[in-house]
Amino acid sequence: MLDDKMLSQAVLKMIPPEKRDYFTPLFKEFENGKVASFNLAAAFWSFFWLFYYRMPLFGLVGMVIFIGIDILTPSLLAPLHMPITTVQVIDFFAPVVLSVLILGFFSNWIYWWSLRHKAKRILNQNLNEAEQLELLAKKGGTNLKGILWWVGGLTIIFTSIMLLAYLQNPEQIKAILLNSL
């Protein structure tokens, strides 16, 4: 049977060593029922922070929500008949503000919950201690290489789309870019 102390120790082993001083006291507060604490890095890096800390599903959901808010904001504001510049400012800041508020205040708890979930699955497998430690280290930690692949991949995709659009109709793209300035 898996007890809370054993689970907490497993979770602490999953935290990158250089971040343990930051996360350990927070995780103890979360075990006592707290759910919010501010994380400046998560607020600034948005859904990329989730990918960095090996939470790809949460990162993907965050990215879809961020892009969805960005796409839907002008449609939601259209019935208000606001000046176009006001709509553009709100459209720019809405996903950023929501990302800062949601991920800034709840990312640490999401990370704690995610590590607990992973640790439970690992500890419930009948592995010896060395195998458990190896798997805990692999499933925890950070993933800078994954972030670089995401950013690089997205950059290539968006650059390719822009290049193809330009090759299809260069005058229209120039007009759009000049009108947006």
Query: Each residue of 21-60: pLDDT tens digit?
Result: 999 999 999 999 999 999 999 999 999 999 999 998 999 9
Query: Is residue 79 predicted with pLDDT exceeding 90?
Result: no
Distances (CA, A) of 116 to 3, 7, 27: 12, 7, 10
pLDDT of residue 181: 58
Residues contacting residue 175 through CB under 8 Å, at least 6 positions apart: none
pLDDT of residue 41: 94
What average pLDDT is seen over the chain? 88
* Amino acid residing at 74: P
Confidence of residue 168 (pLDDT cuts 50, 70, 90): confident
